[in-house]
Structure formats: C-alpha cells, structure tokens
Structure 1
Amino acid sequence: MAYNYEYIDESSIDVSLKFLICSDPYTNPCSTVCDHTFCRSCITKWLETSDRCSACSKKPMTNEGLYPTNRVVFDILDRLLVQCKACRQTNIQRGNFDEHSNRYCLKTFTACLAVDLKCPWQGPRDQLTAHLSTCSYEVMRPVLTHLMSTINNLTVRMQQYENQHTDYQNRMDLFENCDCKQLNERMKLMQILSNPTVNSNPRLETILSQCPINSTINLIDLRLNNFDIPFIIRHAIIRKQCLVLNLSNNLIESNGIELLANAIRSNLILKRLCLKGNQIGSIGVDFLAKALMINSTLEVLDLESNNIANLGVQSLAEMVRENRTLKDLHLGYNCIENRGMEVFLNAIDNNKSTIELLSLSGNCLDDKCLDNLEKMIHDNKKLRQLDLYENHFSLEGKTRLLKIGHIKKGFKMNI
C-alpha cells in the first residue's frame, strides 16, 4: 500500500518492526494463532489466494482468526519519524501523519469551504486563501443558503399537500363505496361528535392535552365507559390523530364500541387499538369487524378478556377474509370454543390472510380442534407466532402441536 510519507532514516528501524512481504514497518499490525505478525492489508490480500500462514505455512488461517498485535508495538510504530512527500516537512511521528495531512500540510489537495454549496474548486491548501478571496460561491453563501432553505421548506410543504390530497382522495373513495346504511352511521357519528353537550371529562382533558399529535395515547385503568367514547373520538382520534390508542381495563361496552368502530371505519392514522379488559362482548366485536372490513390502516387489535364467545369469533372470521392490513390479533382469555375456532381457522387458512401473530391463550380449546389448527399452520404462509397457553389440550395434543410448530421454519408456538 502506498503512503504519502517516507521514512527519514529507514536504516535505523529495527528489522523486527518490518514485514518481509512489503519490506516496510508494519501498518495496522495483526497477529495469528501461530504468533506471527503481519500488516493487516498485506495478510488480507495474501489470504485471498492461500489459507496458510506466509511465515510458517503450518496452520490454516482466516481473517476472523486474526487479532490486534500488542499495544506496545502499535506505540513504537506510531513514534517512527517520517517525512511528508508533499510538503517535505520532516520529523513527523507516523501516528500523527494523518492529522498533518488533513489539517496542516500546505501541499495536500483540499476542497473549497463552499463545497456544501457545490463549489467545484480543489487545490493545494496553500492556494485555498487566494481562491476564497475570489470564490463566487462563498460570496453568495447568505443568498444561496437562504435559497436552499426555502427550497427545502417548499419541498416539505409540497409533500404535506400531496399527503393531504391522497388522504382526501381516499376518504372520497370510501364515501363513494359506502351504502346508505354506512352513510347514515357516519352522519349519526358526526352529529354526536358535533354536539356541544358531549360529556366532558376533566381528567381526560388533562391527559390528552399533554399528548402530541401522531403519538401513543394510553387511557388505561381510568374506569372509562360508553359516555366517554365521543370525547375520546373527538380529542384523541380526530384532533390528536393518535397512532396508538390504548383503552385497556376500562368499562366500555358494545354501545361505546359501536361509536368507536364508526370512527375508525375510514381512519387513515390509527395503527394499534388495545381494548383489553373491557366488556365489549360478541356484539361489540361485530361492530369492530364490520369497520375493519373497510379500514386499511389498523395493524394491531387487542381484544383480550372481553367475554367474546363463538359468535364474535365468527364475525372476526368474516373480517380477516377481507382485511389486508391487520397483522397482530389478540383474542386471549375469552370464551372461545372449538366450534367458533373452527370457523375462524378456516378463514385464515389461506395465503390471503395477513395475520402474523395470533394469541388464543386462556380460551376453551381442546384436542378436537387439533386437525384445524394443524391444517391452518401448514397452509398459512404469513403466520409467525401462535399463542395457546392455558387451554384444555391434553399432553398428547400439546406434543402434537409442538411437533407441528417445530417443522414450520421461522414459526413460534407457545403452549
């Protein structure tokens, strides 16, 4: 490897510091398992054609088997005195040569300080001052900087307008595809939300006022009920445009879920909705399922501990046949039995399903649904994790499921 320096008195350099291949003092030295030392670049090139040590040829080597030489050797090499080939300055310690070349050498080629403004000039450092006195780019820096800032701001604003246009177009498409019943539901929702007498909740107002736009909003364990849903829709979903809405462990029932489902039907922002530990039941699930047949944004839905039975799972089965964005579905600790699960498993037993994580822990499933589970796991290409803790599978059934999960590459089974 060629360097822009030469050794002042090469004859004074201890031969033990020189590498036989390049005849120069070691550069970035490394050692092998057979205790020989090489320049890293030299031995790396050597290993492209041979896997044996070039010094003893006894032991095979790999790049991974090389390790840095003792720090003392590095220090000795760094103190060797060199002369810069460009400016001919002498007595530069080799370890400091990069700093000399990059900062002080007057003959090293450098770029104009206005390179950020696209000035093409390059030349020796001792000519930089003269160039800067006539550099039109540097003279115009205030104007060009302002112009570039303006262009960047306009680009950002244009992208925002394009996103808004896309958003409005999507909403128009959704309205065009709505039937009369759906349109009436939306009008009903808008009337509720525009009503100035919508229940106010000072505690919610305080929490939501501290949440930035497009953020995660956690409203957990607040004993919220159906009457709080319009306020949450107006302030969390519409005004704050939250990406994640967590309503876990509250008192929300199916009537509140009906309003919430209508709000997310055409929502293009919300990515994750957590309703764990409420009382929405199968009727509430049906409202959500119908909304998610249209919604094209939500990716995670948590419905654990909501007293959902077979009827609710059948509604979800119809939804997953149509929905193409939902990835994680949590249905643990409900009242789902084999009959309802059979319908649901048949719905995701195809390559169109987008479900990647399915949680069914704590339900009423037993060995009777093993055949359907096995077929679904085998045929579904997207599913990557299935949780089945605390169901009623026998030891033989669990063993069978674990074998099925083990065969499928990249698949995780928790049972």
Structure 2
Amino acid sequence: MKLEYFEELKQNQGGLISFNGFFSASTEKNVAHEFAQRSLSNGFPIAVLFRMKIDPTNNSCPYASLENRSSNQSEYEILFSFKAIFHIESIEQIENNFLQVDLTLINEKENLISHYIEIEHNKFNHLINYEKLGELLIQMNEFDKAKDLYEINELFIIDLHMSHDLEYEYENESSIDSELICAACLNPFNKPTITSCGHIFCLSCIKLWLKKDLSCPICRKILIENNLKPVTNQNILNKLDQLPVKCTLCQQTHIKRKRFDYHKDKRCQKVIVLCSAADMKCPWKGQRIDLRSHEMNCSYCSNQKLSNHQVQENATTSSKLEFKQIIIFLLIKLCLELMNSHSLKIESIINQYPLYSKISLRNQYLTDDDIPIVVNLAIINKKCKILDLGRNQIISQGVIQIAESLTNNTTLQMLSLHKNSLSEISVQYLAAKLLLNDSALKWLDLESTDLTDNSAEYLAIMLRTNRSITGLWLSNNRIGYHGVEMLALALIYYNRTLKYLDLENNRLINDSCLNYLIDMLEQNGSLKEVYLNNCQLSMTSKIKLQTIAAKKQNFRLFL
C-alpha cells in the first residue's frame, strides 16, 4: 500500500471504508499473509493485512464462498459484492512495515446511518451534523428522506431561534465548557432538562423536538415528555449561573447570567418601561433612562400623588383628628407668639444686608414655615447673590418655595442648603425647576442633606439640560452605585458646563462605581475639580483614577 493511502486509512480509523469493486478474501490467515507479503516485493513500502468480521445473518451485502469453484481451491476464497461497506475497528503493527486492519461488515443502509451518527457524535462532542447526514442520504440515492430531513431541520431551527429570543449575548463563547452546550440549539442550557436516556437539553429545545420526533436527538431512544426532569446537578447549574453575558439593549458587559433578570428589571437604562401612573391611563412608554424626566412633568403622576395623599388622610381615624384638634387649640396662642417673635428676628437679620450681597442665615433654626419671609426679603427685595441657609431644619415645602423663586431670577448665583434634612420630593422639585434652565444659579451646595441614589438621579436629570450650574456639592450623603451611575452618564453624554463636583464622604461609593468614574473622567471635558475623599475606594482604584487625572490638563482629583 502507498504511504499516502495508508495515512488516509489511519486518519479514518473508527470510520467507514468501501472497496471500488468486487474483491475476494481468504478464510486462511496464512494465505492472506502471503498475498500481503508480495506487495512488499512489488515495491510498496507497507503491507496491510485486512482481517474482516462478518455477521452471517447480515444479508444486505451479497458475498459467497468460492471454495468449490476457484481455480485454486487451497486459497479458500470468499467473494464480496462491490456494495460491501466495513467499519474500521482498529489498526495495529504486526511487524516492521506490516500492519493489520480489523474491519466489521455492516448493514448497507440502517447500520451505515447508525455508524455515521456514532462517528459524528464522537467527532463533534454530542453535536449531530444533520447537513452531513443529509449529504450521506443523497449519496445513497435516498432523495425523499434527505428532503424530509432538511425541511424538518429548517423548521426546527426557526422554532429554536424564536424560543431563544434572549436580550443578552454570551461573552467569550469559545471558552464556554462544552458540557454546558445544548446539542439542539448550540447555546448554553436554558432551564436544563435531562431525558430518561441521560442526555441534557434546554427545556424549550427538547419540547420543540418532541413535537416532531418522539426519539432522543442524540441516541434515538424513545422519549416521553412526562419523563423529562429538570437537572439538579449543582455543578452544572452553578456554572450556567456564573456565565458572563452582555446586555444587547444597553451594552453593559460582565453581567452574571443569573443576575440578568434583575439587571433588566431594575438597572437597564434602555429597557422599555411604562409610566408609574399607567394605571391612571398615562399613555407614556419609553426607555427607563427617560422615566424620571417624564414623571417630573407628568400630570397623571401629580394626580396620583394627590390621590394617595388624600387616601392617607381619609384613613386617619376620627379619634386622632379630635386629639390633634385639641392639641392645636391648646398650643395655637403660644405658637403664634413664638412665630411672630422668630419672624421679627429673621426680618431684622436680612434687613441689615445691602442689595446684591451675600446673606447668611446659618444656624437660625429656620423651618419650612420661615421660608416665605426669606424668599420675599432676601431673594426678591435684597436681590442677594449668595444665600446661605445651612444648619437649619428646612425639609420639604421650604425648598419647594425656594425653587419657585428661582424662575427667571437673574441675581442669585449661589445657594447653600447644607446640613438640612431634605426630603426626596423637595430635591426632585428643585431639580425640575433648574432643569428648565431659566435661572442664574451657578453654585448649589447640598452637603450633608441626606441625599440618596434617587436624589442623585433627579440632579443627574437636571444636569442633562441645565447650562448655568458650574459647581455641585454633594458630599457627606448616602449616594452609592446607582447615584454615581446616573451622574456619570449625565456628565458623559449631556452636560458640558459643570466644573466642580464634590462627592466626598459618600461611604457607599466603592470599587463597584469605578468603571463609571473612569468613563466620567475620560469623556467629560468641562470638569476642573472632582472630590472623592473618604469614599470606600481601594488603593488600586485610586491609582487608576489618579493615572487618568494626571493626563488631563487644568484638572485636579482629590482622593
């Protein structure tokens, strides 16, 4: 045998072989050995002895004994038809340049297909190649069967794609363990389900398959849908849960598959959501990133809040109302006297300042009830440029009244509300007014005002359109990952006027916020100073941020 033929035979071990025409063999090993030796004498580099195993009950391929008809009866010849197909079992070396190949005669069609599937099974790690099986059926002139196979498989693939219409993509697909791949859809298992024959598929894949075929796609054993069971192997389930995926909506990467539903329901800014007042017939529908902006100006949301407030008031028992009325009646005179005295003091302090100056009412025990006087005297009459209301007890209505006074105001440039416990709704209202961009306010100090991630989100929405604010102080609050995310996105994609951002002493800012902080520093060109002192950033994160900051001109980062 020529070397190239032998190499091809060796590469096909475990596969199939067929001879070009009729051929004869001998039942006597010595006779066959002698014929093989002659090939060496005729100049061939390798002698091959084919040892064939035949099932006498296999009548699909004609063969016959020539013992009484051969011209040389001592050879004990067996004549095989040109249709004979053998399975190559093994190849072993008997002596130098002399090899033995073990063959098994197989059934012409049924066994041929069975052996082909077994070969493909081993070759492609449990993934059956139906296109090659179709080609094989064509070569066997089984055109109708090949057509049926292609049509069924095409419909099945379409159904599979529809059943796996996911909103994420797998990262580094080539590195995913093959034991996690479904043989039907070629994707990692989704709700892995094990069959009675021990093979695993996606639940939707095997159910779709059983609608057209009641046998296992791999081993062809009969399957019953009621016998399908969810996989309980924790090793497989844990590996599937930890697979990293990329959201195809917002393009965020490194999401663990088990956390994707949470990402979609709570975090993804590109997912389509309804207005929170949809039950009150608000028709708005849009991306989550635009939801807050819509709700700040949604008349349905305003009606909903008013309705909720009225429901709460109506739920108050009559006895509580009576008790409250008695308390009010007993204290009304004292309250009026105290308020009058307190109001006179505030008026006196404000009146001592000249026009267009800085007015400080720090530590004056101001409450929401005092703000109308402050707005009228300090902002409207005195036209102050700086108003310091720090260290008071302003909570909600007072901030709303201040926000109202900012409309078309051309003098107030700095407002400080530090160390007042501001409510979320008051921050939302203030941000909504600044969002309209009809104020001269440049500096806003909200240090130590109990700001949360929601409050930070309202301010981020404001920054998208506001072009007057150049300094924003948000230090010593409860801003964390989501707040940093929203502020960073606003500064990356929208705002080009903010120069100073103070996030110092927000202990919820940690390494999870790093990517957003990096993107903000790299892509925003207006910031001159950013304060991140005393946050929970690791030394590694600080070094990364400092490296980026060093590359920016006229920029300082405080860590």
- TM (norm. structure 1) is 0.52
Question: Offset at 1:309?
Answer: 0.2
Question: Offset at 1:404?
Answer: 1.4
Matches within 5 A, 1:190-205: 201-205=343-347
1:220 aligns with 2:362: yes
Question: Offset at 1:287?
Answer: 1.2
| More strand, by proportion | 2
Counterpart of 1:362? 505
Matches within 5 A, 1:5-404: 201-294=343-436, 295-350=438-493, 352-363=495-506, 364-404=508-548
Show CA shifts across 1:149-207 (max 9, x none). Answer: xxxxxxxxxxxxxxxxxxxxxxxxxxxxxx998xx9xxxxxxxxxxxx99661211111
Q: Does the Cα contact within 8 Å between 1:300 and 1:328 map onto a contact in 2?
A: yes
Following the alignment from structure 1 to structure 2, what is the Cα–Cα distance between the partners of residues 232 and 218? Answer: 11
Question: Offset at 1:366?
Answer: 0.6
Q: Which runs of 4+ in 1 moved over 2 A?
A: 197-200, 350-353
Q: Does the residue aligned with 1:301 lie in a helix, a strand or coil?
A: strand
Q: Does the Cα contact within 8 Å between 2:363 and 2:390 map onto a contact in 1?
A: yes
Following the alignment from structure 1 to structure 2, what is the Cα–Cα distance between the partners of residues 330 and 323? Answer: 16
The RMSD of aligned alpha carbons is 2.1
Q: Does the residue aligned with 2:492 lie in a helix, a strand or coil?
A: coil
Q: Does the Cα contact within 8 Å between 2:463 and 2:494 map onto a contact in 1?
A: no
Following the alignment from structure 1 to structure 2, what is the Cα–Cα distance between the partners of residues 262 and 180? Answer: 18
Q: Does the Cα contact within 8 Å between 2:387 and 2:416 map onto a contact in 1?
A: yes
Following the alignment from structure 2 to structure 1, what is the Cα–Cα distance between the partners of residues 431 and 390? Answer: 19
Following the alignment from structure 2 to structure 1, what is the Cα–Cα distance between the partners of residues 298 and 447? Answer: 33
Following the alignment from structure 1 to structure 2, what is the Cα–Cα distance between the partners of residues 180 and 313? Answer: 20
Show CA shifts across 1:118-165 (max 9, x none). Answer: xxxxxxxxxxxxxxxxxxxxxxxxxxxxxxxxxxxxxxxxxxxxxxxx
Q: Does the residue aligned with 2:444 lie in a helix, a strand or coil?
A: strand
Following the alignment from structure 2 to structure 1, what is the Cα–Cα distance between the partners of residues 492 and 546? Answer: 19
Q: Whose Rg is larger?
A: 2
Following the alignment from structure 1 to structure 2, what is the Cα–Cα distance between the partners of residues 392 and 290? Answer: 30
Q: Does the Cα contact within 8 Å between 1:320 and 1:353 map onto a contact in 2?
A: no
Residues 321, 180 of structure 1: alpha-carbon distance in 2 compared, 3 angstrom cutoff: closer
Following the alignment from structure 1 to structure 2, what is the Cα–Cα distance between the partners of residues 286 and 266? Answer: 19
Q: Does the residue aligned with 2:533 lie in a helix, a strand or coil?
A: coil
Q: Does the residue aligned with 1:348 lie in a helix, a strand or coil?
A: helix
Q: Does the residue aligned with 1:401 lie in a helix, a strand or coil?
A: helix
Q: Does the residue aligned with 1:249 lie in a helix, a strand or coil?
A: coil
Counterpart of 2:552? 408
Counterpart of 1:161? none
Amino acid in the other structure paired with 1:332:
S
Q: Does the Cα contact within 8 Å between 1:321 and 1:353 map onto a contact in 2?
A: no
Following the alignment from structure 2 to structure 1, what is the Cα–Cα distance between the partners of residues 527 and 423? Answer: 26
Q: Does the Cα contact within 8 Å between 1:244 and 1:270 map onto a contact in 2?
A: yes
Q: Does the Cα contact within 8 Å between 1:281 and 1:309 map onto a contact in 2?
A: no
Show CA shifts across 1:32-82 (max 9, x none). Answer: xxxxxxxxxxxxxxxxxxxxxxxxxxxxxxxxxxxxxxxxxxxxxxxxxxx
Following the alignment from structure 1 to structure 2, what is the Cα–Cα distance between the partners of residues 351 and 406? Answer: 24
Following the alignment from structure 2 to structure 1, what is the Cα–Cα distance between the partners of residues 408 and 298? Answer: 15
Q: Does the Cα contact within 8 Å between 1:356 and 1:384 map onto a contact in 2?
A: yes
Following the alignment from structure 2 to structure 1, what is the Cα–Cα distance between the partners of residues 483 and 528? Answer: 22
Question: Offset at 1:353?
Answer: 2.5
Following the alignment from structure 2 to structure 1, what is the Cα–Cα distance between the partners of residues 298 and 462? Answer: 20
Amino acid in the other structure paired with 1:385:
E
Following the alignment from structure 2 to structure 1, what is the Cα–Cα distance between the partners of residues 495 and 433? Answer: 19
- TM (norm. structure 2) is 0.39
Amino acid in the other structure paired with 1:366:
N
Show CA shifts across 1:308-337 (max 9, x none). Answer: 101111101110001001000000001001
Following the alignment from structure 2 to structure 1, what is the Cα–Cα distance between the partners of residues 458 and 396? Answer: 14
Question: Offset at 1:296?
Answer: 3.1
Q: Does the residue aligned with 1:245 lie in a helix, a strand or coil?
A: strand
Residues 313, 222 of structure 1: alpha-carbon distance in 2 compared, 3 angstrom cutoff: same
Q: Does the Cα contact within 8 Å between 1:296 and 1:323 map onto a contact in 2?
A: no
Amino acid in the other structure paired with 1:245:
L
- Identify the structure with bigger relative contact order (alpha carbons < 8 Å, sequence gap 6+): 1
Identity %: 33
Amino acid in the other structure paired with 1:339:
H
Q: Name stretches of at least 5 consecutive residues in structure 1 with no aligned partner.
A: 1-178, 185-196
Q: Does the Cα contact within 8 Å between 1:351 and 1:380 map onto a contact in 2?
A: no
Amino acid in the other structure paired with 2:482:
R
Show CA shifts across 1:266-318 (max 9, x none). Answer: 21211000000001132221111011012331000000000010111110111
Residues 308, 180 of structure 1: alpha-carbon distance in 2 compared, 3 angstrom cutoff: closer
Amino acid in the other structure paired with 1:369:
C
Following the alignment from structure 1 to structure 2, what is the Cα–Cα distance between the partners of residues 233 and 180? Answer: 27
Amino acid in the other structure paired with 1:275:
L
Q: Does the residue aligned with 2:408 lie in a helix, a strand or coil?
A: coil
Following the alignment from structure 1 to structure 2, what is the Cα–Cα distance between the partners of residues 245 and 211? Answer: 11
Question: Offset at 1:380?
Answer: 0.7
Following the alignment from structure 1 to structure 2, what is the Cα–Cα distance between the partners of residues 376 and 367? Answer: 15
Residues 285, 351 of structure 1: alpha-carbon distance in 2 compared, 3 angstrom cutoff: closer
Show CA shifts across 1:67-107 (max 9, x none). Answer: xxxxxxxxxxxxxxxxxxxxxxxxxxxxxxxxxxxxxxxxx
Question: Offset at 1:351?
Answer: 6.3
Amino acid in the other structure paired with 2:365:
R
